[in-house]
């Protein structure tokens, strides 16, 4: 029974760590899509062209 508890604890720990790593690198998923829309709007307003953003990446280190 304790082996099952250890496996469950390990799985929960790994899921939490993966979520934390994703959060620190990309933020929350809904903020990521919000910033993508804002960036597209900014480009369209600035350059007066239609833009389609298929992929966006962020520079983590300035």
- Would you say how long the chain is, in residues? 62
Q: What is the 3-state secondary structure (H, E, C) of the chain?
A: CHHHHHHHHHHHHHHHHHHHHHHHHHCCHHHHHHHHHHHHHHHHHHHCCCCCCCCCCCCCCC
- Which one has a higher pLDDT value, 23 or 17? 17
Write out pLDDT tens, residues 20-53: 888 887 777 777 778 888 888 898 899 998 878 7
Task: Quote the pLDDT of residue 62.
Answer: 45
Task: Quote the pLDDT of residue 35.
Answer: 80
- Which one has a higher pLDDT value, 60 or 25? 25
Domain ranges of the chain: 2-47
- pTM (two decimals): 0.51
């Amino acid at each position: 029974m304790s082996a099952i508890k250890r496996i469950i604890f390990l799985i929960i720990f790994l899921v939490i760590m993966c979520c934390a790593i994703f959060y620190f690198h990309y933020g929350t998923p809904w903020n990521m899509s919000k910033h993508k829309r804002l960036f597209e709007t900014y480009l369209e307003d600035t350059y007066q062209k239609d833009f389609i953003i298929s992929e966006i990446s962020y520079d983590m280190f300035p």
